[in-house]
Structure 1
Amino acid sequence: MAHTSLPVELLYFVFAFLFAVFLITVLTPLTFRLGLTDDPCKRKRHSGSVPLVGGIAMFLVMAGLTLLILPMTRTAAYLLTASALVTLVGAYDDRFTMSYKMRLVAQVIAAFVIIYGVGNVLQSFGQIIPGVEVRLGYLAVPVTVLGIVGVINAYNLIDGMDGLAGGLALVAFVGLFVLLRGEISLTSEIILVFLSGALVAYLLFNLHVFPSYTTKVFMGDAGSTLLGLIIVAFLIRYTQGASRVFEPVTALWLVAVPLTDMCITFFRRLRHGKSPFRPDRTHVHHIFQRARFSKNATLIIILLWATFLAAVGILLERLGVPAFVSFGLFIVAFAIHAVFVARAWQISKFFYRLRRN
């Protein structure tokens, strides 16, 4: 496969970073005029109106630089089409608020674009059962749609604290880059670099690293759904068929935190008779905040956990550990997360007492 040297990849990354900084700076005043801002409420406890420009800027960087610099392929064209759909729908939802049913319809359409345009279909889970490859057969397309929509919403639902969804997406991007560099086409590799550079630029604004020079911004649903779509598209493409580079189970490790948090949150809401799409303050980051951890400490702890899990998955892949062993270890990690959330109140009190002491 064609690939670039690291200095050239770094150049593309810096170019995307600077382009994103420019776009966020230029588009921020426009978002105020359009009313595309996130205002404080009972569930959202930030101060003042915050521009929802991050997701739009990330899409424009990825799409604009791809169209200008890279040779256009059928795969890239359909990937950009699906990305444009979820970004536009997300931006509309950020401004006017859509029902979750309409958002799901748009996400399902984007999933079909990925499936039939890009050719990404989950045909196999690999040998997660010893000696048996778990193939999906006639269930391949519906399971793929479910997987794409699931990961999109996993990143959307966990976007409840500064830097969290973006940081988790960056962990996945770095993991993908480590696994795929030199193994995939030039266009696919550089699209990943473009979006990573734009994401780092967004995080500098979102975390307000330079408060004297930048305005705080959010990515909104436009950004979180875009990141989820790109990540799951890469995961499916390079774990299946002739394009396969790594085991399907390794993909779970790269998105472990948002995926696990979504599954547990959905189960808990359904158990209490609530809609799984009804927003609340019961995600993993809320547990740390109830234990009086600062936002920065909470962010660092969760990102370190996500990085550790991604590193474990990559290490198991590199060592050639059988897929069923990797899957079993992932279930253990999932169980640890589930117990942590299920005992959230007791754990919060324990952490609080520990911090006081």
Structure 2
Amino acid sequence: MIEHIFVFVFLFISILIYFKIADKYNIIDKPNHRSAHSQITLRGGGIIFPIAFIIFSLFNFNESVHEYWSFGLGLLAICFISFLDDIRTLSNRIRLSIHFISVVLLLYFTDTFSLMPFWAWPIFFIMIIGTLNAYNFMDGINGMTGIYSLITLVSFLYINKEIVSFAEDDFIIYPILASLVFLFFNFRKKAKCFAGDVGSMGIGFWVIGLITLLIMKTQDYKYILLLSTYGMEVVLTIIERILLKENIFEAHRRHLYQLFANEKKVSHLLISTTYAVVQLIVNVFLIYSKLPVAAVVLIIFIPIGGIYLTLKYSLKKKYSL
């Protein structure tokens, strides 16, 4: 407990130091046509997540050298390239190359290459890349990335302690502490900072690492649903954009949370909290349900998907979108 208090304080001080650096070098987020905010805000507050891993490595040096080196390289690489992209736009070739290397390192770390047949490797690779992008797509309003990640990480910690041990507790607790520090500055009506790509990709990579470890340990794919709210939002939005013959790689404002924030002017904090609560309800049901995976998927996706589509249709009709 004393160690965790020290880490929390150190992370808090670290992000304050970063604010000074970001302010000096003008690392800011300027509102554009798809932004849900209207004020210039410091960008890159999500740098707290790779810092949290560095601290974890120092406190667990022997284990980090032998067990976490591949995860650490992957995390730091994807965070580094994402931070550079926050400062200046990089070419897709450079970003995708680093993403590919990081995902390969993540699959190595989680023993996916040895525990899964060869034909399953591309499936996991596509799922991880898709989830990373989902985390990036959903990082658009105050509090969303932080509180959603916090709910997911706390669920991991409960599963690890009460259901099945699949990782060291500290490997889950450290990103929880980083999320709490980040939320202190981001879960506000006027946020002090935004996560930036370094934050959304960094915490996304960490969460994906944990969920992959859990799946490899249990061989139970139902745990993918621990990210089902993000997954459903992104998949349905992509399908909608394909049907409208839009370029799915271009920036847009078609996510349900964007419609609520931009058109209906609902509080960012209320929207973020709602998404997190929905995921928490799903997680509780998922953890305690004894039903087959297919039944769990249907029970979760049919009602939530129906509500999602109804809300989106009514908003689009009202605002002629």
Q: 1:217: which partner in 2?
A: 193
Match of 1:184 among 165, 175, 178: 165
How far the C-alpha of 1:141 sits from its partner, in A, is 0.9
Structure 1 counterpart of 2:41: 50
In structure 1, what residue type is equivalent to 2:306? I
SS in 2 for 1:72: helix
Structure 1 residue 66 and structure 2 residue 47: aligned? Answer: no
Deviations 1:231-289 (A, max 9, x none): 1111111112xx22x7211321x111111111112222222222222111111212323
Q: Which runs of 5+ in 1 are unaligned?
A: 1-7, 125-136, 350-357
The separation in 2 between residues aligned to 1:329 and 1:121, in whole angstroms, is: 32
Q: Which residue identity lines up with residue 23 of structure 1 in the other structure?
A: S
Q: CA deviation at 1:41?
A: 2.1
Instruction: Give the TM-score, by structure 1 length.
Output: 0.80
- Deviations along 1:193-234, whole A, 9 cap, x unmatched? 01110111100101248x8xxx70111000101111111111
Aligned to 2:288: 315
**Contact conserved, 1:123 with 1:140, CA < 8 A, in 2?**
no
Gaps of 5+ in 2: none
Amino acid at match of 2:242: L
Match of 2:315 in 1: 345
Quote the residue 1:173 is aligned against.
153
Alignment of 1:142-153 (within 5 A): 142-153=122-133
Aligned counterpart in structure 2 of residue 298 of structure 1, from 260, 271, 289: 271
Do the aligned partners of residues 192 and 46 (structure 1) sit closer, same or farther apart at CA in structure 2, a change above 3 Å counting?
A: same
Shift, 1:71, TM fit: 3.5
In structure 2, the CA distance between the partners of 1:249 and 1:168, relative to structure 1 (3 Å rule), is same
Instruction: Spell out the pairing of 1:177-256 with structure 2 (5 A cutoff).
Output: 177-181=157-161, 183-184=164-165, 188-208=168-188, 216-240=192-216, 243-244=217-218, 247-252=220-225, 254-256=226-228
How do 1:46-195 and structure 2 match up within 5 A?
Answer: 46-69=37-60, 71-73=62-64, 74-120=66-112, 137-181=117-161, 183-184=164-165, 188-195=168-175
Counterpart-to-counterpart distance in 2, 1:151 and 1:47: 28
Q: CA 1:157–1:25 in 2, change beyond 3 Å: closer, same or farther?
A: same
Query: Which structure has the highest helix share of the two?
Result: 2
* Matched-pair contact (CA < 8 Å) for 1:20–1:202: no
Alpha-carbon distance in structure 2 between the residues aligned to 1:301 and 1:309: 12
**Residues 191 and 235 from structure 1, CA distance in 2 versus in 1: closer, same or farther, beyond 3 angstroms?**
same
1:15 paired to 2:6? yes
Counting aligned pairs with the same residue, the percent is: 18
C-alpha distance in 2, partners of 1:257/1:333?
12
Aligned equivalents of 2:195 and 2:233: distance in 1? 20
Task: Select the residue among 307, 313, 332 that pairs with 2:302.
Answer: 332
